[in-house]
Structure 1
Amino acid sequence: MSTHHDALETRTPAAREAALLAALPTQVAHAQKNSSAFAASLAGIDAQQICSRAALAKLPVIRKYELLAQQQAQRAVNVFGGFAAIGFGKAMPRVFASPGTIYEPEGARADYWRMARAMYAAGFHEGELIHNCFSYHFTPAGSMMETGAHAIGCTVFAGGTGQTEQQVQAMAELKPAGYIGTPSFLKIIVEKAAEMGVALPSVRKALVSGEAFPPSLRDWLAERGIAGYQCYATADLGLIAYETSAREGLVLDEGVIVEIVRPGTGDPVSEGEVGELVVTSLNPDYPLIRFGTGDLSAVLPGTCPTGRTNTRIKGWMGRADQTTKVRGMFVHPGQVAEVVKRFPEIARARLVVTGEMANDQMGLQVEAQPADGLAQKIGEAVREITKLRAEVAFVAPGSLPNDGKVIEDARTYQ
């Protein structure tokens, strides 16, 4: 049995990059033609010129709150806000809803969400039964996993959420090869089985997502004979990255172009620096170009020991939206980025809010060499952009933490 889902996983990085960038102009043109939202946001853009990462980085980032706003504004005429390239009917067998409410289309193509790759890496193979405990209603998680399982030739038990005792009974009688769902619910099921005195010897692997999967829980499952692996996916984009047996970060999916940008901007960061994941999907049905996930991560150096050659990321490292309220005014990462852009002397900056609520202060820490009048000029720029005062402090280059934070809320709350 092959170690990899397909040959795409072991392409040379150069071959993969060439293939992705060759597909990019076509996808941009397709989005402009078939998605009214991108026809507007990419108006005047020559799609054939978007054939490099540098060119891609010049396009606007579409963030989730903007997608939601457009959907809400167009509810009466287009529930997808003009982002979908397909409509109701055979091309769209299902529609799902995520909190917001954001509506997501599911296309008719096999393995629409591209989850098969993550399942294969987690050890699932043709002819096995999978116990799927992701929700089948409203959100697409249940369907995302089921369509991926079908793509690798697996049968699925649609367990859904809740009804823990019935889940244990079904596992005991159907003897699935493994579990798919949130890691916390798997722990609940295993504990309930022990409480009921029911053995679940067939469940030896799991693909988990939807929440944090700390090493402590991974080890707890391993002690009970279950090898758990995680994947990173969203209802907008499908699979983005997945864990392998090497357990060294998450390998990027083959169907997406991923950038890591400075929070609040669309500017790519240096390799290894923490920033916001921005994803361009090559899905023709829902062609999201530079979609900001709002999640923080960083690129890991090197390639996976399993032979998969795609880029690896560290996994989920927090949220990029660090907007905070200071003295009644909202301050967001984009404003800090605007200050930095005005001063080429600044390598990186971090706005720290201290004090107590209603008596708070801002300090801007900048990686730059001190110069006469520079602190005053930076402080004036902060006030112009945020309408608030900030003390400017120079720090040594490379001394600010590499955690993706542009704004740190260090206030005490009584």
Structure 2
Amino acid sequence: MGLRGTVRVPGDKSMTHRAFLMGGIADGTTVISNALLGADCLASLAAVEALGAQVERTSDGIHITGTDHLHAAAIDCGNSGTTIRLLSGILAGGQESYTLTGDDSLQKRPMDRVTVPLTTLGAKIDGTYAPLTIEGRRLVGTTYTLPVASAQVKSAVLLAGLFATGETTVIEPVLSRDHTERMLPKFGAEVTIQEQERGRRIRLQGPIRLQATTIDIPGDPSSAAFWWTAAVLGQDSAITTEHVLMNPTRIGFLQVLRQMGASVEITNRQESTGEETADVTLTTTSLQAISIEGEQIPSLIDEIPLFALLATQADGKTIIRDAAELRVKETDRIETVVSALKKIGARIEATADGMIIDGPTPLIGATVDSAGDHRLAMMLTIASTLQPEIQVLGNEVVEVSYPTFYDDLKTLQQANR
């Protein structure tokens, strides 16, 4: 039996992180509605509170009164790579000494991809892996060219640029998630973006104190993607996700679904916080294998585990290339996804920077472990809606990004009875 109904997924994770961090250093009180209150984003909220911001939860959202002095602090970022990397950019221009650490998984994730570019502005950061020690100091604007597209690195440099004297410029080879440069103007920062033949140039003039604002967070497309997958693969399924973020850097998964043959219906387009939102409906369909690579990858990097599941049920050979970044996520997502899908019957092989999947293949019952990865846990749960004998261990980890995931699943299952 498939899934049917309407879901409003939690607020976008990337936007929530940025709203919390920017609100924490803004002058005045920022009000944030529909924020994602999963473990990762709460790490960012706790961080700004530790640094001196005042946080109040009310019926209309999260109220953050920013601090003009970043207090010395030792901050536990939990499992959140976004928190530790973006916060490194902010604290590089602070006035005190700071320590950033995290759980065992975070301490294994490389930080030099952020710390090295921050040193070009004059930052003093010790540590290739967490814990990082940061001595806040005066920064000087610079021009930094990203070797590969990375929203976290770009954001860290731009946030450091708020504290730097002069112009800070980031040049990215291809467009990556652009929530930081879209949100900064909402907080009063002037950001100039220039499209170039080879890449994209983002500039801001510092130092500047952000100004408090009001932010409404749309639904997270990376969370909605689980229901889009369930709708396409399920028997007699139809699911609508409401008020979902439609940022072009975040809907690569929808484009891939279309390429594979899915019918995607988009209605009720609106604008919220400088971002487009819409309702998205998908229904059961048959799929054709495709290959994804190059510029497609950044816009669906978090959805690749779901894409791999789709590929197991698509007709033909699917190839994923240029996704080596998956090896430094919460887990080595190439190895963990391949291992988990093999256990449930998939014909799938890992490559250095991706996967090769032959389909379609009937899924089989097995017990599989989430490996502490929230996206892997949810992907395997969607697989279990196709094959009920699949048992997922460690599924409590979904709290990281989608605390109400299993409640929403139950609602969709009941709607089709």
Instruction: Tell me if both proteins adopt one fold, taking TM over 0.5 as the criterion.
Output: no
TM-score (norm 1): 0.24
The answer to which structure, 1 or 2, has the higher relative contact order (CA under 8 A, 6+ apart) is: 2
Give the greater-gyration-radius structure (CA).
1
Bigger proportion of residues as helix: 2
